[in-house]
Amino acid sequence: MEWALNTINPLTVSLSVGFLLLLILVTFFRPKPGKTPPGPKGIPIFGNLLQLGDLPHETMHNWRKTYGSVIWLRLGSVNTMVVQSPSAASELFKKHDLPFADRKVPDVLTAYDFNQGTLGMNQFGGHWRVLRRLCSMEFLVNKRMNETTELRQRIRENMEGWIIDESESSKKVGDTGAVQLSRFLFLMAFNLVGNLMLSRDLLDAKDPEAREFFDCMNKILELAGTPNIADYLPWLKWMDPAGMKRTMRKNLSKTMRISSNFVQERLNNRKAGKFREKKDFLDVLLEYEGDGKDGPDRITEKNVNIIITEMFFAGSETTSISIEWGFAELLRNPHTFKRLREELDRVVGVNRRVEEKDVENLPYLQAVVKETLRLHPALPLLLPRNTMEDTEYMGYHIPKGTQVFVNAWAIGRDPDSWEDPLSFKPERFLQSNIEYKGQHFELIPFGSGRRICVGFPLAHRVVHLAIATLVQAFDWDLMPGVKPEDIDRDERLGLTLRKKNPLYVIPKSRLNV
Binding residues for heme: 453
| Binding-site residues | 453
Residues in the chain: 513
Are 223 and 251 a contacting pair, CB within 8 Å?
Answer: yes
- Buried-exposed string 401-419: b where 16+ CB fall within 10 A, e elsewhere: ebbbbbbbbbbbbbeebbe
Alpha carbon distance 399, 421 (integer Å): 34
Within 10 Å of residue 475's Cβ, how many Cβ atoms? 11
Distance CA 14, CA 16 (A): 5
* In contact, 436 and 443? CB cutoff 8 Å: yes
Helix (H/G/I), strand (E/B), else coil: 9: coil
- Contact, 311 vs 220, CB < 8 A? no
- Output helix, strand, coil percentages for the chain, rounded to the nearest 5: 55, 10, 35
Q: How far apart, in whole angstroms, are the C-alpha atoms of residue 183 and residue 146?
A: 27
Tell me which amino acid residue 224 is: A
> If we measure between CA atoms, which residue out of 31, 78, 319 comes closest to residue 193?
319
- Closest residue by Cα to residue 499 from 241, 323, 293: 323
Cα dihedral angle (18, 24, 29, 30), rounded to 10 degrees?
A: 90
Count of CB atoms within 10 A of residue 352's CB?
A: 12
Q: Distances in Å between the alpha carbon of 262 and those of 123, 152, 213, 255, 375?
A: 27, 21, 11, 11, 38
Half-sphere exposure for 482 (CA within 13 Å, toward CB): 17
Burial 175-185 (b: 16+ CB within 10 A, else e): eebbbebbebb
CA separation, residue 140 to residues 83, 109, 196, 283, 362 (Å): 29, 25, 10, 14, 23
Using CA atoms, how far apart are residues 458 and 45, in angstroms rounded to an integer? Answer: 43
